Amino acid sequence: MSISVQPWGVKRLAPYPNAVRYAFTRTGIDPETQTTRYFDARGRVIDMTGGHGTSQSTSSPTSTGADGGGSQPPAPADSDALEDHVPD
Confidence tier at 84 by pLDDT (50, 70, 90): low
- Between the alpha carbon of residue 6 and those of residues 3, 9, 22, 35, 52, the distances in Å are 10, 8, 33, 44, 45
Give helix then strand counts, H and E, for the chain: 1, 3
Counting every residue, how long is the chain?
Answer: 88
Q: Could you report how far apart the first and last alpha carbons of the chain are, in Å?
A: 84
pTM of the full structure: 0.37
What does the pLDDT look like over 9-56, one tens digit per residue?
877 877 777 777 778 899 999 999 999 999 999 999 998 887 655 555
Domains of the chain, by residue range, sit at 18-49
What does the pLDDT look like over 44-59, one tens digit per residue?
999 888 765 555 555 6
